[in-house]
Structure 1
Amino acid sequence: MGFGQGLSGLNASSQNLDVIGNNIANSGTVGFKSGSATFADVYASSRVGLGVQVASINQRFTTGIVSTSGNQFDMAIDGAKGLFVVTQPNGATLYTRNGQFLADKDHKIVNAQGQQLMGYAPGGTNLIGMTVPVGNIAPQATDTITNKVNLDANAKVVPATPVPETLATVVLTNGGVDTTYYYRPATNQWYSDTAGTMVDTPLDNTYTTGSPAVTVTITGGVPDTTIPSTGTNVAYAAAVAAVPFDPTNANSYSNMVPLTVYDSLGNSHRIEQYYTKREPVGTNSVWEVNYAVGGVVDPANKAELQFDSAGRLASTTPNPPAINFTPGGATSPANPVSIKVVYDGSTQFGGSFSQDFVQNGYGTGEYASMSIGSNGELIANYTNGAKQTMGTLALADFANLQGLQPVGGNAWAETANSGQPIVGTPGSNGLATIKGQAVEESNVDMSQELVNMIIAQRTYQANAQTIKTQDQILQTLITMR
């Protein structure tokens, strides 16, 4: 019987060394989970045991170190709960922690074993195979421009309507007699009425005028001092000519900002926003905004912004403004474009002009790369700067991870002992999140495994010694006479 116990010990120690050796061999395997052998004694209605047996080989599903790889398709499960769901070419479903993926010739996202990564389509609930997009992304026509602008409160007003000349009204007092005249200072011309009837006789004399009164001497129609515009006198105002908006006349606007928008075919169009400060309305400052599309100004595309005395946007007319145009060309007849223009949060402060804007359209673009969000979203990046969510990968968890069956290739299969998988998206239902362009390294502790190997070796040697001792005892028994 002694041989049996020793032999079982040798077998158990040998299997333990196999487990330790497998751990050490896979210390560099991405997603590998180290194993450990558990033992149980053997009895058969006897007070003396029959030896030892290997009860099970358990794997430690602790999280390995997450390290950056730089590969756009690599991904690491950043947490203990969750396994990638992959499908073999024959349709069988497996589970793995190895996040080293690539795109095959059919644009499927697969691992080195050819197993396809599974997930959900945007808004979907059924598992499908994840793929890399092909072809160009469809363009998106611009329908909104969001502006946040500061208009200089000290900008010069550009008159929208003409203002006629106002002659100065001057009351000259001489000998207690007040006489009203109308005067153009630039030319020293005097008139008897606002119709422009010039005074026939010279006004050469000394007068008092204004309030408080000052003395003024007029010689040849030229006063010797500045005539005050106080009292009954009224100051002269020169004529002001209206300056209608004209994109070719820089004096007809205060600031201009160009931007690019897109039609339904992805063709780009240049829009210029022209800001012109106009006469105030009450206590509000008024800015006129004109839009030129491809250098062409449509009077229907115009807005008015009013700001209160605190510099806040008080009103927008129309609300909201819109830019409407029809892209021309028989070769590319795009849909008519209607763009809502938003100025929320714009101001008129006493500072320099500044503008930030965002338009939501883009032209077509080619697929450039893939990125993975922490929530498992697979985001395709295109050459035009657009992004598109292609799907969300799935993670699975099991009630009994030890019940999974290792099948090689860094994968496990579901068994009756493991229970059915609980499948969801990363970050939901307690599942771990995802780190893109990274991998989870093996959780093998090399120093611990080397110590375990020494202990297993000593155990093997001790069991071999029991067999040797039993052999010596048996030999002694045989040689007895």
Structure 2
Amino acid sequence: MPFTPHSILHTNSVGMMARQFEMDVTADNLANLNTPGFMASRANFQEYLFDNVPASLMNGPYRGAAVRPNTSLSYTLGPMVQSGNPTDLAIFGPGFFRVQMPDGTTGYTRNGAFQRDAEGNLVTSSGLRLIWGGTIPSTAKDIRVTADGAVEVRVGQDWENAGQITMATFENSSGMINAGGSTYTADESSGPPIIGTPNADGFGSLVAGMVEQSGVSLQNEVAQMMLAQRAYSMSLRSLQTSDEMLTLAIRLRG
């Protein structure tokens, strides 16, 4: 495509917006360094640039091919830490817990730091209720969860089955949308949830008394932030140089 003063200035400004987008995503990753079950996000730059290029500056097969800027999840699992709490659950392998969002829809998380509420539900620290087939009776003295998700409680001297925990997997987990913290929602990119039993084919197993920590690597995110800041500064200098050259050209023509 022909390079005009407008296209050069626009290209530099779009480069700055893309790097700012990357820095915002990286900053959010760093803010969730200690959030259990959090998965880092990555900015998709090619899509971001296309979304900000006017159709008048795009030729041939690229005309009208712009897409919305977005992020993809880095499906890197965090380290497992022992807590000793019987309602803390870690997923060893693929899968997400299903939780009920405030608007009634279903969210998905690997943060298994659950606690029992007054109604016998298992809830996250933010109050999201685990979707499973049962409740914990108030008379339960002990709780145990098996690798395949069976929840058992001890009432008196006997152990009783209280329900079954199921999980969800996705064709493309990286395409899920972050709904805040370590909770995610399904999207067209992720595909619909596939529901199954822990420890079954294609699903991870559950280990009680452990919690998965954040999957964010401090070293990687700091390096990513430094690269993005450097690229932003280069785009800014290029924009300033282009503006100075354009101003000089206008003066010479005048």
Say whether the fold is shared (TM-score over 0.5).
Answer: yes
Which structure has more RCO (C-alpha within 8 Å, separation ≥ 6)?
Answer: 2
Q: CA deviation at 1:83?
A: 0.4
Give the corresponding residue for 2:96.
83
- More helix per residue: 2
Cα shift readout 1:108-157 (whole Å, capped 9, x = no counterpart): 111123222122xxxxxxxx3x321233xxxxxxxxxxxxxxxxxxxxxx
Give the corresponding residue for 1:207.
none
**CA RMSD of superposed structures (Å):** 2.1
Q: CA deviation at 1:54?
A: 7.6
Aligned to 1:8, the other structure's residue is in SS state helix
Give the corresponding residue for 2:18.
12
Q: CA deviation at 1:89?
A: 5.5
Q: CA deviation at 1:382?
A: 4.0
- 2:164 matches 1:388: no
Aligned to 1:408, the other structure's residue is in SS state coil
Q: Distance in 2 between matches of 1:87 and 1:450?
A: 34
Greater shift, 102-111 or 89-98, is seen at 89-98
- Corresponding letter in the other structure for 1:82: G
Please say if residues 37 and 56 of structure 1, whose CA atoms lie closer than 8 Å, have aligned partners that are also in contact: yes
Q: Distance in 1 between matches of 2:149 and 2:243?
A: 63
- More strand per residue: 1
Q: CA deviation at 1:398?
A: 1.1
Q: Distance in 2 between matches of 1:87 and 1:464?
A: 44
Aligned to 2:223, the other structure's residue is in SS state helix
Q: Distance in 2 between matches of 1:474 and 1:431?
A: 59
Cα shift readout 1:368-405 (whole Å, capped 9, x = no counterpart): 12122211121213453x32221221110111223322
Aligned to 1:468, the other structure's residue is in SS state helix
Q: Distance in 2 between matches of 1:37 and 1:93?
A: 25
Q: Distance in 1 between matches of 2:32 and 2:124?
A: 18
% same residue: 29
Cα shift readout 1:86-111 (whole Å, capped 9, x = no counterpart): 12355322211111111112121111
Structure 1 gaps, min length 5:
47-51, 120-127, 136-366
Q: What does residue range 173-322 of structure 1 map to in structure 2 within 5 Å? A: none
- 2:165 matches 1:397: no
Q: What does residue range 303-452 of structure 1 map to in structure 2 within 5 Å? A: 367-384=140-157, 386-452=158-224
Q: Distance in 2 between matches of 1:461 and 1:89?
A: 41
Please say if residues 72 and 437 of structure 1, whose CA atoms lie closer than 8 Å, have aligned partners that are also in contact: yes
Question: Rg: which structure is higher?
Answer: 1
Please say if residues 33 and 61 of structure 1, whose CA atoms lie closer than 8 Å, have aligned partners that are also in contact: yes
| Consecutive aligned runs of 4 or more in structure 1 exceeding 3 Å deviation | 52-56, 88-91
- 2:148 matches 1:134: no
Q: TM-score, normalised by structure 1?
A: 0.46
Aligned residues: 234
Please say if residues 12 and 53 of structure 1, whose CA atoms lie closer than 8 Å, have aligned partners that are also in contact: no
